[in-house]
Amino acid sequence: MGRKLLLEKAHVPGIATYEVYRREGGYRSVEKALQSMSPDQVTEEVKKSGLRGRGGAGFPTGMKWGFLAKPEGVPRYLVVNADESEPGTFKDRYLMEFIPHLLIEGMITASYALGSNRSYVYIRGEYAWVAEILEKAIDEARANGWLGKNILGRGFDCDIYVHRGAGAYICGEETALLESLEGKRGNPRIKPPFPAVKGLWGCPTVVNNVETVAAVVPIINEGGEEYAKIGMGKSTGTKLISACGNINKPGVYEIDMTISVEEFIYSDEYCGGIPAGKKLKACIPGGSSVPILPANLLLKTAKGETRMMNYESLADGGFATGSMMGSGGFIVLDDSQCVVRHTYSLARFYRHESCGQCSPCREGTGWMEKILWNIETGKGKISDIDLLWDIQRKIEGNTICPLGDAAAWPVAAAIRHFRDEFEWHVLHPQEAQQRNYGLMHYADPIHVPNPVMA
From candidates 26, 87, 285, 286, binder to other proteins by CB under 8 A: 87
Nearer to other proteins, 223 or 378 (CB): 378
Could you tell me the end-to-end alpha-carbon distance of the chain, in angstroms, rounded to an integer? 41
* Minimum distance of other proteins from residue 258's CB (angstroms): 23
185 near other proteins, rule: CB under 8 A: yes
169 near other proteins, rule: CB under 8 A: yes
From candidates 140, 211, 256, 353, binder to other proteins by CB under 8 A: 353
With contacts defined by CB under 8 A, how many residues of the chain interact with other proteins?
A: 55
Each residue 279-318 as x (binds other proteins by CB under 8 A) or -, in order, gives -----x---x------------------------------
86 near other proteins, rule: CB under 8 A: yes
Pick the piece of the chain touching other proteins (CB under 8 A) from 15-23, 36-44, 66-74, 85-93: 85-93
Each residue 91-130 as x (binds other proteins by CB under 8 A) or -, in order, gives --x------------------------x-----xxxxxx-
Which residues, in sequence order, are CB contacts of 212 under 8 Å at separation 6+? Answer: 51, 53, 54, 55, 61
67 near other proteins, rule: CB under 8 A: no
From candidates 214, 252, 297, 388, binder to other proteins by CB under 8 A: 252
Nearer to other proteins, 235 or 288 (CB): 288
Each residue 147-166 as x (binds other proteins by CB under 8 A) or -, in order, gives --------------x-xxxx
182 near other proteins, rule: CB under 8 A: yes
184 near other proteins, rule: CB under 8 A: yes
* Minimum distance of other proteins from residue 225's CB (angstroms): 34
Peptide bond into 192 cis (omega under 30): yes
* Minimum distance of other proteins from residue 378's CB (angstroms): 17
Nearer to other proteins, 250 or 317 (CB): 250
Q: Which amino acid is at 347?
A: A
Nearer to other proteins, 67 or 161 (CB): 161
Could you give the CA distance from residue 95 to residue 220 in angstroms, rounded to a whole number?
A: 19
Nearer to other proteins, 170 or 219 (CB): 170
337 near other proteins, rule: CB under 8 A: yes
From candidates 331, 371, 388, 407, binder to other proteins by CB under 8 A: 331
* Minimum distance of other proteins from residue 224's CB (angstroms): 30
Pick the piece of the chain touching other proteins (CB under 8 A) from 2-10, 143-151, 191-199, 343-351: 343-351
Pick the piece of the chain touching other proteins (CB under 8 A) from 1-9, 21-29, 142-150, 239-247: 239-247
From candidates 35, 70, 149, 201, binder to other proteins by CB under 8 A: 201
- Three-state SS sequence of the chain: CCCCCCCCCCCCCCCCCHHHHHHCCCCHHHHHHHHHCCHHHHHHHHHHHCCECCCCCCCEHHHHHHCCCCCCCCCEEEEEEECCCCCCCCHHHHHHHHCHHHHHHHHHHHHHHHCECEEEEEECCCCHHHHHHHHHHHHHHHHCCCCEEEECCCCEEEEEEEEECCCCHHHHCHHHHHHHHCCCCCCCCCCCCCCCCCCHHHCCEEEEEHHHHHHHHHHHHHCHHHHHHCEECCEECCEEEEEEECCCCCEEEEECCCCEHHHHHHCCCCCCCCHHHCCEEEEEECECCCCCEEHHHHHECCCCCECECCHHHHCCCHHHHCCCCCCCEEEEEECCCCHHHHHHHHHHHHHHHCCCCCHHHHHHHHHHHHHHHHHHCCCCCHHHHHHHHHHHHHHCCCCCCCHHHHHHHHHHHHHHHHHHHHHHHHHCHHHHHHCCCCCCCCCCCCCCCCCCCC
Helix axes 100-114, 91-98, angle to 10 degrees: 100
Chain contacts with other proteins (rule: CB under 8 A): 75, 84-90, 93, 118, 124-129, 161, 163-169, 180-186, 201, 242-246, 250-252, 284, 288, 329, 331, 333, 337, 341-342, 345-346, 348-349, 352-353, 355
